[in-house]
Each structure stands twice: as structure tokens, then as C-alpha cells.
Structure 1
């Protein structure tokens, strides 16, 4: 069986500037988790209040769009959750 070739060229090493960018400290911001949970809770509460009051609350003029607003808060919570590490 033939031998595999030996690599003559060295592996790629990134320039020093790229090494510094890779050393960015990945920390969890203290506001991410509370905001995420608050958005989930607001969205859930909005939908529950809408159903419990037969559509007269939280905003009567929104009519059935209150459900969309509640799910919008929940979707915003999921969007914020992408920043959580």
C-alpha cells in the first residue's frame, strides 16, 4: 500500500488581530434572563386576561388581535432568549 504524502506547507495560522477578536469574553448579560422571563409572563398574562374577561380586556378595541399581541410578547421573549448564553 502506498504511503500518504507528507504535508510540506504549515497549517494556516490566523494573523494576530484575528486571535484577539477570538478572545472576546462571552458573558451572560444580567438583563437577558429577567427580560426574557418578563416577556413570556406578559404574553401569557395578556392571553389569559383576554380569555377570562371574554375579550373585554386588556384592550377592548383590539378585539381578537389581543391574541396576536400576547403571542408577540412571547415571540419577543424567544428573540431575547437568543442572547442568553
Structure 2
């Protein structure tokens, strides 16, 4: 038994709707990756702050035993606090 004309039109509308939905999702994902988005911010400021904290922690615990930290002496404070401060600066870019 052949399908009625109404069912064929409904099926065509459904296919067109699915294609439009797929195009909208694709456009949304491309817009998300555009240069103007700020999705990178949490992926940068969290590790930056953690590296700063770890730098200071390692300096406090084993600073005299790590050759690079021993050579830097008190500059380690500036490096660790600078990393933490730069983490806060990057965090201000988040929307």
C-alpha cells in the first residue's frame, strides 16, 4: 500500500528540520573555536596558579637541594608570586 502524500511531506519536513539542526550545531561549535572566544582562560589560569604554588612549596621544602632554586635564592619568591599574580591577571579575561 503506498504512503499518503501527507506522510511523505511530514517525512521531508522532519529531514529538513534535522539538517537545519545539524547545521546550527556545526555553526555553534565553529563559533566556539573562533579566535574571539575565551574558553581557553580556565585552562590557563588554573595551572598557572598551581605551578606558582608548587614552585613556592618546593622552594620552602627543598630549595637548598634543587640546583636551580639554590642558584636563584630569593628570586624564587618573585617567580612563585609572579606566577600566581599572572594567574589572577589571566582570570580577569574570563567572561
State if a TM-score over 0.5 links the two structures: yes
Name the residue aligned to 2:56.
47
Give SS of 1:76's match. helix
**Which is helix-richer, 1 or 2?**
2
Query: Of the candidates 21, 43, 46, which is equivalent to residue 37 of structure 1?
Result: 46
Please state if 1:59 is matched with 2:69. Answer: yes
Q: Name the structure 2 match of 1:76.
A: 86
Q: Deviations over 1:24-61 (max 9, x none)?
A: xxx85221011000111000000000001044435221
**C-alpha RMSD of the superposition:** 1.7
Q: 1:46 & 1:83 partners in 2: Cα distance?
A: 24
SS of the residue 1:30 aligns to: coil
Q: Gapped runs of 5+ residues in structure 2?
A: 1-35
1:13-24 mapped onto 2 (5 Å cutoff): none
| Higher gyration radius (CA) | 2
TM-score, scaled relative to structure 2 = 0.55
When normalised by structure 1's length, the TM-score is 0.61
